[in-house]
A and B are shown apart, each in its own frame.
Chain A
Amino acid sequence: GPVAASITAKLEAAFKPDVLDVVNESASHNVPRGSESHFKVVLVAHAFASVPLLERHRLVNEALADELKGPVHALSIVAKTPAQWAKASGAVPPSPPCLGGSKA
């Protein structure tokens, strides 16, 4: 969809990632079918080297500030360096199940 495309384009431009996966997880949440409200992004980039975890997440949130102010209601972030990614063998933690509370 258009939101996923915009997220992909902005993250590509901001981080030049080796790996970029933008997953629309909206279907597992309490929102209409076809929504683009809940996303998980997996980013592996040299740009994260020597950047603390909290700051990495802040950088991603900033790159997607427009989306987060608008249609995107939940954003799960995995931000690793290529070395950390290799060590984790590409494992990504699952997102928690929806408990139905938010309709936004």
Chain B
Amino acid sequence: METTEDRIKAMVEGNKIFLFMKGSKLFPQCGFSNTAVQILNSYNVEYETFDVLADNAVRDGVKTYSNWPTIPQCYIEGEFVGGCDLLIEMYQSGELSEMVEKAAAS
């Protein structure tokens, strides 16, 4: 049987850029998730999201998967890169732009 961990692994490894968030890209349900979406949108790259409010197993499971206690969580090329605070800092430093461009070109 497919475990929650398998499902999470498939999502983060099957997409170059993936965001676990509250709500959807169009209707984020939390300010931190909204900030993460706005940052990713600014790069004009494709990314997929998963609404943890719709699935408690994933909501809890992703916290264990990355050993990170909060949502949103952003993954680039299968690697956990951070939540809202880290996305903001890496956006401002230009580091995130490099990571996103590299992933998009891969």
Contact = CB atoms under 8 A, between A and B. Distances in A.
Interface of A: 53-54, 57-58, 61, 65, 68-69, 74-78, 93, 95-102
Given A96-B35, A99-B33, A101-B28, 20 more contacts: A54-B80, A54-B81, A57-B83, A57-B85, A61-B68, A61-B69, A61-B70, A68-B69, A74-B70, A76-B84, A77-B85, A96-B84, A98-B30, A98-B31, A99-B29, A100-B29, A101-B30, A101-B33, A102-B30, A102-B53
B23 interface: yes
B86 interface: yes
A75 B34 CA distance: 16
Contacts, number: 59
B25 to A, nearest CB: 13
B88 interface: yes
Interface residues of B, number: 25
A97 B89 contact: no
Contacts of B32: 74, 76, 96
A57 B53 contact: no
Contacts of B68: 58, 61
Contacts of A93: 88
Contacts of A99: 23, 28-31, 33-34
Nearest to A96: B31
A76 B85 CA distance: 6
B67 interface: yes
B70 A75 contact: yes
A21 to B, nearest CB: 15
A94 B67 CA distance: 25
Given A96-B32, A96-B34, A102 B85 contact: no
Contacts of B90: 53
